[in-house]
Amino acid sequence: MINSLTKPQLILLHGWGGSKNSLAELSSKLEEKYVCHVLEMPGHGTTPSMDFPWEMRNYATWLDKYLKSNMIEEYTLLGHSFGGKIILEAVTSGILKPNEIILIDSNGIKPKNSLKKNIFKFLSTIFNPLLNSDIGQLIKKFVYRFIIREVDYAKTSGMIRESFKIFNEQHYDSKLQNISIPTIIIWGKDDKVTPLWMGKKLNEGIKNSKLFVIDGTHGVPLKSPNEVAEIILNNTK
């Protein structure tokens, strides 16, 4: 048992559309090794929304402010899905320098279906009046969810949706070589939201990383917290 006074600090970031409850079970299993901080993003759960559309740097700055306000200097970052994308922004931009990184089904790699998105955007400019109608909104949600497969966009609204449109165009494929921090990558082999090839690309691009593929889809930290926790506890310092 690690003394609570000497436990390392672990910052956990949930995925888009989640809340601090999303990673609650996983964090409880990691508390034998870490002091866990389960953060909740603005506009998620019970946390008020932001006053203006955020891009990735705003999320990284928000995380930096939390660490500074709590005087946390030595820490490990864990991010699921969009939470992982925040970590990629914070680390590649030099805003944060964690001791270790844990990415679970992380966002941040440019999807292969960008052509579909470009076609839809082009058609949107032509048929904009229709898309702004009630029927048009239903069509748009269907396209994003089942054709473009942007489920996160389909279930957002207001300022959160505006933020999504901004940062959804930000990717880190060309910046991965800037990460030299020890990184654990955990992926559900049947993930359809962020497919396994994205996890492999993160592993190939981050020089000091290890990839662990487990049974499951995009929600492995929620549905398989025991297995995810075991990987983390056995492969981090």
Q: What is the pLDDT of residues 121-148, one digit of tens each?
A: 444 444 444 445 555 455 444 444 433 3
Residue 113: what pLDDT?
64
Q: Alpha helices, DSSP H only, in 108-187?
A: 114-126, 128-131, 134-142, 151-154, 158-167
pTM over 0.85: no
Claim to verify: residue 48 and residue 60 sit in the same structural domain: yes
* Cβ contact 50:42 at 8 Å: yes
More confidently predicted of 147 and 206: 206
In a domain, 189, yes or no: yes
Claim to verify: residue 102 and residue 68 sit in the same structural domain: yes
Count of domains forming the chain: 2
In a domain, 64, yes or no: yes
